[in-house]
C-alpha cells in the first residue's frame, strides 16, 4: 500500500494595512478589493486618483526649452 500524502495545514491569510483607512485587510484571492478592506475604501482611493490628489509636484526650477540658434549671427561662415 502507498503511504497517504501528508496534509498541509491551510495557509494563514496575509493581513495588510488598508491604504485608505489603515484598517486590517486580507491580502488574498478571497478579498476582491485587495489591497483595500472594502469597496468603499477602493472607491475613495479611485476618487482621489481621479481628482488628481496623488499627482507629483512640478519642478519650479526646470530649465526652459532650448532656444533655437540665431540665424546669421556668428554662424562661423
Known binding-site residues equal 18, 21, 37, 41
- Per the annotation, where are the binding residues for Zn(2+)? 18, 21, 37, 41
Angle at 30 between CA 7 and CA 48, to 5 degrees: 150
| Calpha distance 27→34 (Å, rounded) | 6
Count of CB atoms situated within 10 Å of the CB of 20: 20
Give the DSSP H or E segment for 47: helix 39-50
Amino acid at each position: 500500500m502507498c503511504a497517504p500524502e501528508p496534509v498541509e495545514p491551510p495557509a494563514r491569510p496575509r493581513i495588510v494595512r488598508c491604504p485608505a483607512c489603515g484598517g486590517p485587510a486580507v491580502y488574498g484571492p478571497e478579498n476582491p478589493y485587495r489591497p483595500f478592506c472594502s469597496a468603499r475604501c477602493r472607491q475613495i482611493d479611485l476618487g482621489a486618483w481621479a481628482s488628481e490628489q496623488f499627482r507629483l509636484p512640478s519642478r519650479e526650477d526646470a530649465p526652459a526649452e532650448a532656444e533655437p540658434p540665431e540665424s546669421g549671427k556668428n554662424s562661423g561662415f
